[in-house]
Structure 1
Amino acid sequence: MPLIYPWGNDNPFNDYSSFLKNKFHRRVQKLSLNVGFTCPNRDGTKGRGGCTFCNNDSFNPDYCEPHFSITEQLNKGIEKFNERYPDQYYLAYFQAYTNTYGPLSYLKSLYEEALLHPKIRGLVIGTRPDCLPDSLIDWLSKLQSRYYIVVELGIESTNEDTLIKVNRGHTFAETCDAIFRLNKAGIPVGSHLILGLPGETEQMMLQHAERLSTLPLDYLKIHQLQYIKGSALGYQYLKNPEMFHVFDMDEYVELVIAFLERLNPNIVIERLASQAPFNLLIAPKWALKNYQMTELIKKRMKQRNTWQGKLLGVCTAENPAK
């Protein structure tokens, strides 16, 4: 008989799709939106050029164009899934750049337009930890009583030196402060972390898991560092590839398993890998789709009888935590 873990299934990590299905009692999918925001490390407020690893074109679907209205983008996104999943609900995902970077009145108008769509059941708002004024958190907290509202923070690294190297323009201390403020307001917190940023050793990357496990995080996306055309890091890699490390597939799988073993099992895992469009991706090129990488990690964890949080002593195969 397969082991059923505290998250309710035999998956060796606490996966996002199962969480959403249990919460909404039907299939729910995020729909990305691009409404033309920028970032404080792009417009000169904190810096120029943005994060060295970033090219937003590498993860924006083709229907996400800021010249389309929010409603038009949602309709185009739903149309792509409607034939296969006509009854599913959606979360409007404000994804591109910093989606809390503007006057509160303007932000409210954007979020409210998305929530007026009959298929939308909530918002996922991607932002930076240094762009969350108390007035916005208070308003989102009130909105939470009627909709499912998640704020997704770009953490990227828990190492202060790394954050400086990649031109994030904020500190990990600011990240922790934002997470605690959102949690206190009753707003679920998602997060994003990149494994393999320049200068980080395996030990440093595993420390990310240990540090994040102490915070009231609800969701986590992790993925490998990708060298992308149009990003500063991609340019540097093309110029001097010998100065950078590129994960091979097995190396990354082993790292992710070790990471998950050290991660609080209450944190829901939304993503374990990413794949930029072929025309933009420089390296690594694994020729695996995201779901194939996820299945490979899952299979290897089951073979080893290991699971998320195993090394924290939170649950065991014989006596999983409740």
Structure 2
Amino acid sequence: MANIYPWGDSRRYNSYSNYFKREFGGRVQKLTIDAGFTCPNRDGSVGVGGCTYCNNDAFNPSYCTPQKSVLQQIEEGIEFHKVRYRRANQFLAYFQAYSNTYAPIERLRELYGQALSHPQVIGLVIGTRPDCVDEEKLDYLQELNEKFYIAIEYGVESCYNKTLEQINRGHTFEKSVWAIEQTHKRGIRVGAHVIFGLPGETREQMLAEAKILSELPLNTIKFHQLQIIKGTAMEKQYQSNPELFNLFGMEEYFNFLADFIERLNPNFVIERFTGEAPPRYLAVPPWGHLRTDKLMARFEKLLEERNTWQGKLFMET
């Protein structure tokens, strides 16, 4: 008989798909939206050039373009996902590209209101930076949260200020902690995005982030192996100084992840373990041609072989 883990099912980590089944009784699909936002480290208010690793085009679906209205992107997204996920009839509008709270609150009300006016949209997932929220915006999202599913995902990327400075992030880890705590205080679901393999970070430093992050009031978390994307400042850095980088091989990364999630708070829902960019955007060859579902099957097999699971060592760290 399969083990049942603290989150209530037999998977060896607290999975996003099963979280939605518990929350809504079935599949809920995210619809990615590009609403034309930018970032404060691009427009000069904090910095210029953006994060050194970033080329947002590498992660946007084909139907996403700011030239289309939010409602048009939602309609096209529903049609796009019908092919693969026929049973999905509830959707979350996922404001993904760049920093999706980086605008006056009147503009946010307009854009979020458009999304929530669609009859099949039951809530919002908002990707942003921790320095792009304030008390007023969080209070507004708290109001929406009383009627809809609202989640904010913050790009934390690293717990180390030296790394954040090197990648031109433009904010500190302390700012991430503030934003996460303020969001949680208002009852809004809050997530964090973390990149593994950033230049200068050792394996020991990355593993230590499990304890640091586990102490935060997070609901969800996303992990992403560093990929060198064409056309970025990091590509130039990699070409000039490849010795600064220690890019993970697939098996090495999965073993690292297993070590990491053993130490991770089991209450955190893990949304994603790997990043997936189209091969044409990659300056360094990808791990073969395996899609995310195949990669996850290999990772779960590794967890089984190691007889480990999320949070196994959590109380010991």
Instruction: State the TM bucket, normalised to the shorter chain.
Output: over 0.9
Query: How far apart are the structure 2 equivalents of 1:242 and 1:155?
Result: 25
Which residue identity does 1:28 align to in structure 2? Answer: V
Which residue identity does 2:42 align to in structure 1? Answer: R
- Equivalent residue runs for 1:250-265 within 5 Å: 250-265=251-266
Counterpart residue number, 2:304:
302
Contact 2:221–2:270 (Cα < 8 Å) also in 1: yes
Q: How many aligned residue pairs are there? A: 314
Counterpart residue number, 1:95:
96
The CA deviation at 1:284 is 4.8
| Matched residue SS, 2:283 | strand
Counterpart residue number, 1:78:
78
Output the aligned Cα RMSD.
1.2
- Equivalent residue runs for 1:258-277 within 5 Å: 258-277=259-278
Q: Identity percentage over the alignment?
A: 50
Query: How far apart are the structure 2 equivalents of 1:96 and 1:52?
Result: 16
- Equivalent residue runs for 1:274-285 within 5 Å: 274-285=275-286
The answer on 1:135 being equivalent to 2:136 is yes
The CA deviation at 1:52 is 0.3
The answer on 1:144 being equivalent to 2:145 is yes
Q: Which ranges in structure 1 are unaligned for 5 or more consecutive residues?
A: 315-322
Query: How far apart are the structure 2 equivalents of 1:227 and 1:94?
Result: 24
**In the superposition, relative to structure 1, how do residues 165 and 87 fare at CA in structure 2: closer, same or farther (>3 Å)?**
closer
Counterpart residue number, 2:111:
110
Query: How far apart are the structure 2 equivalents of 1:229 and 1:111?
Result: 32
Deviation by residue 1:58-101 (Cα, 9 ceiling, x = unmatched): 10001110000001101111001224415421100000000001
The answer on 1:241 being equivalent to 2:242 is yes
Counterpart residue number, 1:14:
14
Contact 1:246–1:283 (Cα < 8 Å) also in 2: no
The answer on 1:313 being equivalent to 2:315 is yes
In terms of mean alpha carbon deviation, does 210-219 or 239-248 score higher?
Answer: 239-248
Counterpart residue number, 2:38:
38
- Equivalent residue runs for 1:202-217 within 5 Å: 202-217=203-218
The CA deviation at 1:271 is 0.2
**In the superposition, relative to structure 1, how do residues 128 and 103 fare at CA in structure 2: closer, same or farther (>3 Å)?**
same
Counterpart residue number, 1:222:
223
Contact 2:199–2:244 (Cα < 8 Å) also in 1: no
Contact 2:279–2:285 (Cα < 8 Å) also in 1: no
Query: How far apart are the structure 2 equivalents of 1:101 and 1:243?
Result: 32
Query: How far apart are the structure 1 equivalents of 2:51 and 2:88?
Result: 38
